[in-house]
Chains A and B, each alone.
Chain A
Amino acid sequence: MTATMDTPNKATSSALNSKVPEGDIATMWENHKFSMKLVNPNNKRKFTIIVVGTGLAGSSAAATLGELGYNVKAFTFHDSPRRAHSIAAQGGINAAKNYQNDGDSVHRLFYDTVKGGDYRSREANVHRLAEVSVNIIDQCAAQGVPFARDYGGLLDNRSFGGAQVSRTFYARGQTGQQLLLGAYSALNRQIQLGNVEMHNRKEMLDLVKKDGETCGIVVRDLLTGEVESHSAHAVVLATGGYGNVYYLSTNAMMCNVTAAWRAHRRGAFFANPCYTQIHPTCIPASEDHQSKLTLMSESLRNDGRIWVPTEFDDDRQAGDIPEGERDYYLERKYPAFGNLVPRDVASRNAKTVVDEGRGVGPLKNGVYLDFADAIARDGRATIEAKYGNLFDMYANITGEDPYKTPMRIYPATHYTMGGLWVDYHLMTTVPGTYAIGEANFSDHGANRLGASALMQGLADGYFVLPYTIGDYLADKLGDDVVSTDDPVFKTAEAEIADQTKMWLSLNGTKSPEHYHRELGKVVVDRIGMARDKVGLEKAIDEITSIEEEFKANVRVKGDATSMNTELEKVFRVADFFELAKVKARDALVREESCGGHFRVESQTEEGEALRDDENFSHVAAWEWHDADTVQTRHEEQLEFNNVKLSQRSYK
């Protein structure tokens, strides 16, 4: 139906079968649920499923699988499932409820999400996401998630970037926390009932296969250092994204790519590693030893107006700059969406004005987000009710009062759209290994819209994976799990013991943290908001040389038989180095701009991202061989039969 997709010599790699069902997209998921194989309720207890990670996707999946009657083993490296980084999501969760009667629908949410992702996501997955979005809100409200409500007691909504309807549900500025506590409560119920065996403080360090199929994982107990194996019929990875490859990001300190990366090394293809979301509304960096960047919810863009001085190197305080000398550049360039343009557009524009020399703040590395008009219009009390905790957070970090002076914001790495390649069933290229939530690549294309991460995590965990996993397990009825005494497990355990010994014996001079920071500098500079061929080629060389030094000169103190956060860190940093190289390669090969991936060589006359649908309307999925060989790049062609490809315009 679309003109761009009929180029005959482009084909999906035979290694990638998306398993998207035939038929009308509006009824596809409903029909497919009927056609998938089922596991009879009495047989579910004969299957063991491992879920790694307990954020929104992992907790909701583990709880739901437990409710269905499967034996579930859930793992987290935190001290409690409730600490996963989903907890830090502030703004909200989208759902096509149309409670506001403003013309929303499943189709509109689907359309907005595909468009927002700059036409680099798989239509069928996104449509399913939009369909189940409504069930998520019902489920969470029933669990007691204290969503914001109107005076009549019904649910309130706000609008978010990239959308012209009000479809975002929220719980003050702590929506992620509340949704995670909801999923955690459901998980707790299953733990109490004995359906889920919870393993806290254990970090997955390997995925184990036998005869080509998943049979379990190897973990390290972070309290005792013991390396142990766990077997299962299927493994679900809900281990989040790889944003900390940038070192400074809005991710939590422990967020890492290790579980996903170890699965990649065992055969799971890694898709679109170059797609990273740089979130526009973060607090600008202030000094060298800063450990992370703090996000201010994008919902602030509903009421805050973004501006910089029209003059270059303007040293005046914000209040001293008259209205006529302020450039509300988003409102000027994008009158229809104004301050609510999608994240990638807002971020790139902030970078442009700062690079021009119009940045604000002591380091000239930010832009203003000004609430003066909103406070004058709605009153301070209203603004405080909406954003009070965010304003407090800002005041605490910067020592400035945002009710009086405008906030300063700058983009920071926030979310990764790339991840393990999965088919329509959310299964990776390793049979029996699934990836859900941010750990997979499937729903957001090249850019994620605000309030869609929580939606996807919970959609996968509550409403998609619990159906699709049965289709795989049904054929395994009667098969016992592989014994953890099997050589496949023993070999994997020995490899981890060897690596541990190697890191502890290196006795170099610099900490893992030091090398992580050095890596991050290259990744920010070369694979950040703007990328070009020369820079990306340099990035690969620079990463390789820092990695060599890291492997020769890192110093890991402590032992392998008690809690050792340095040892935990060195494993994670090592995997970030390998990931960073394929991220640069992926960005290098994709010679187009799309969403969060901006190739300087590919832009419109107005400086907007210019896609090349002819050559790049595909997913790139990388296949691991070994540490000394560059991964093989496979392509899955994307077909757009329900959304018309167009140059995104938010004017």
Chain B
Amino acid sequence: MSEQTINLTLEVWRQNGPGDGGRFETYEAKDISVDASFLEMLDLVNERLIEEDKTPVTFESDCREGICGTCSLMINGQAHGPNKGQATCQLHMRTFSDGDHITVEPWRAASFPVIKDLAVSRAAFDKIQQAGGYITVSTGSAPDANLIPVPKEAADMAMDAAACIGCGACVAACPNSAAQLFTSAKIQQFNLLPQGQAERWKRTEAMVDTMEEYFGTCTNHGECYEACPKEISLDFIAFLNRDYVKAKIKNRKLAGQKS
């Protein structure tokens, strides 16, 4: 809560659309309050660009409280910046020092193509979820909520997985652009619960196979966990691998059997 301000030099990736080659441009960000968030700093840079009749930098954000998963940004090469367990919108300028040079880039991953400047498409995530990220229960057909007790440990662990905000930092941080952490969290949220058992093996195979259409292969670097703003545990990837192997057996069809 101080009145302190700092001056920064930003190297920002500008790319005027998917077909453009892109380049870094340098902007001076002067008199930035240390209480401002990183995105509020960018807001200010943009407002000054507009006053100078220049085109502002396109970046995406929405809730600005770390829950919607819209914001992204590689900050000095790190997804969501230097602090652990934070999305970019939760990063505050008190993390930086006067005179710092900061490089700002979009998520780096071929499966997240750049739309413009710092904005990318994460549509592949929706495809994975559509492949099986649900429990089949049409509205109105549910039994009383307390009919099926869920052990507290299972509910808590499912919640740990469900905390994923779908921001894509895991993919951006991964040298292989793998989406194992995201996919495992989305699968295990359901696979851990009694309600999710009926479709467990079908779900696992469908979501993993869809993931592999878009993303690279996991080689256990663990960068995803380091970058994850919700600190989703790597254990979910282990659970996923176990379930995927089992699913390949459980889902096996008899010769000539259809679907």
Residues of A participating in the B interface, judged by any CB pair closer than 8 Å: 60, 63-64, 67, 78-83, 85, 87-88, 97, 99, 135, 137-144, 146-155, 171-172, 174, 177-178, 181, 184-186, 188-189, 191-192, 198, 200, 223, 252-254, 286-287, 289-292, 294-295, 361-362, 392-393, 396-400, 462-463, 466, 509-511, 513-514, 555, 557-558, 562-566
Which residues on A sit within 8 Å (CB–CB) of B86? 396
For A139, the closest partner residue in chain B by CB is: B142
A-B contacts, 18 listed (Cβ < 8 Å): A83-B69, A141-B142, A144-B135, A146-B189, A149-B152, A153-B151, A174-B163, A177-B67, A177-B165, A181-B162, A185-B135, A186-B137, A188-B130, A189-B130, A192-B130, A252-B68, A286-B35, A563-B119
For A286, the closest partner residue in chain B by CB is: B35
Q: How far is the CB of B74 from chain A (nearest CB, A)?
A: 18
Indicate if B116 sits at the interface (CB-CB under 8 A): yes
Please determine whether A171 and B159 come into contact, CB atoms closer than 8 angstroms: yes
Indicate if B121 sits at the interface (CB-CB under 8 A): yes
Please determine whether B163 and A135 come into contact, CB atoms closer than 8 angstroms: no
Contact status of A289 and B33, CB under 8 A, knowing A142-B135, A142-B137, A171-B159? yes
Please determine whether A99 and B146 come into contact, CB atoms closer than 8 angstroms: yes
Question: What's the Cα separation between A292 and B63 when bound, in Å?
Answer: 9
Q: How many residues of B contact A (CB 8 A)?
A: 79
Interface string of B114-157 (1 = CB under 8 A from A): 01100101110110011101111111111111101111100110
Q: How far is the CB of A105 from chain B (nearest CB, A)?
A: 16
Which residues on A sit within 8 Å (CB–CB) of B193? 144, 146
Question: What's the Cα separation between A223 and B156 when bound, in Å?
Answer: 39
For B70, the closest partner residue in chain A by CB is: A83
Question: B41-75: which have CB < 8 Å to A?
Answer: 43-44, 46-47, 50-51, 53-56, 58, 60-70
Q: How far is the CB of B113 from chain A (nearest CB, A)?
A: 11
Question: What's the Cα separation between A79 and B40 when bound, in Å?
Answer: 21
Which residues on B sit within 8 Å (CB–CB) of A82? 69, 126, 166
Please determine whether A188 and B133 come into contact, CB atoms closer than 8 angstroms: yes
Which residues on A sit within 8 Å (CB–CB) of B148? 141
In-complex Cβ contact of A149 among B121, B155, B190 (8 A): B155
**Other A-B pairs, 5, CB within 8 Å; known A143-B195, A396-B90:** A88-B67, A146-B158, A181-B162, A191-B130, A514-B47
Please determine whether A144 and B65 come into contact, CB atoms closer than 8 angstroms: no
Indicate if B1 sits at the interface (CB-CB under 8 A): yes
Contact status of A397 and B92, CB under 8 A, knowing A82-B166, A286-B35, A557-B56? yes
In-complex Cβ contact of B64 among A177, A291, A511 (8 A): A291
For B36, the closest partner residue in chain A by CB is: A289
Indicate if B99 sits at the interface (CB-CB under 8 A): no
Please determine whether A172 and B129 come into contact, CB atoms closer than 8 angstroms: no
Which residues on A sit within 8 Å (CB–CB) of B47? 511, 513-514
Please determine whether A83 and B62 come into contact, CB atoms closer than 8 angstroms: yes
In-complex Cβ contact of A398 among B1, B50, B85, B196 (8 A): B1
For A176, the closest partner residue in chain B by CB is: B67
Q: How far is the CB of A96 from chain B (nearest CB, A)?
A: 13
Please determine whether B139 and A252 come into contact, CB atoms closer than 8 angstroms: no
Contact status of A67 and B138, CB under 8 A, knowing A191-B130, A252-B64, A398-B1? yes
Question: B179-228: which have CB < 8 Å to A?
Answer: 189-190, 193, 195-196
Indicate if B94 sits at the interface (CB-CB under 8 A): yes
Please determine whether B136 and A189 come into contact, CB atoms closer than 8 angstroms: yes
Please determine whether A565 and B58 come into contact, CB atoms closer than 8 angstroms: yes
In-complex Cβ contact of A513 among B43, B85, B126 (8 A): B43
In-complex Cβ contact of B63 among A60, A88, A138 (8 A): A88
In-complex Cβ contact of B139 among A64, A85, A181 (8 A): A64
Question: What's the Cα separation between A397 and B55 when bound, in Å?
Answer: 30
Please determine whether B135 and A294 come into contact, CB atoms closer than 8 angstroms: no
Indicate if B111 sits at the interface (CB-CB under 8 A): no
Q: How far is the CB of A518 from chain B (nearest CB, A)?
A: 13
Please determine whether B142 and A153 come into contact, CB atoms closer than 8 angstroms: no
Q: How far is the CB of B155 from chain A (nearest CB, A)?
A: 5
Please determine whether B123 and A200 come into contact, CB atoms closer than 8 angstroms: yes
Q: How far is the CB of A116 from chain B (nearest CB, A)?
A: 24
Q: How far is the CB of B227 from chain A (nearest CB, A)?
A: 17
Contact status of A399 and B1, CB under 8 A, knowing A83-B68, A83-B69, A291-B37? yes
Please determine whether B61 and A253 come into contact, CB atoms closer than 8 angstroms: yes
Question: What's the Cα separation between A274 and B119 when bound, in Å?
Answer: 36
Indicate if B39 sits at the interface (CB-CB under 8 A): yes
Please determine whether B92 and A141 come into contact, CB atoms closer than 8 angstroms: no
Indicate if B17 sits at the interface (CB-CB under 8 A): yes
Q: How far is the CB of A460 from chain B (nearest CB, A)?
A: 12
For B142, the closest partner residue in chain A by CB is: A142
Please determine whether A254 and B40 come into contact, CB atoms closer than 8 angstroms: no
Question: What's the Cα separation between A398 and B2 when bound, in Å?
Answer: 10
Q: How far is the CB of B198 from chain A (nearest CB, A)?
A: 11
Please determine whether B145 and A97 come into contact, CB atoms closer than 8 angstroms: yes
5 closest Cβ pairs, A-B complex: A153-B149, A142-B142, A185-B134, A141-B145, A146-B159
Which residues on A sit within 8 Å (CB–CB) of B66? 393
Which residues on B sit within 8 Å (CB–CB) of A83? 62, 68-70
Please determine whether A563 and B64 come into contact, CB atoms closer than 8 angstroms: no
Question: What's the Cα separation between A422 and B149 when bound, in Å?
Answer: 39
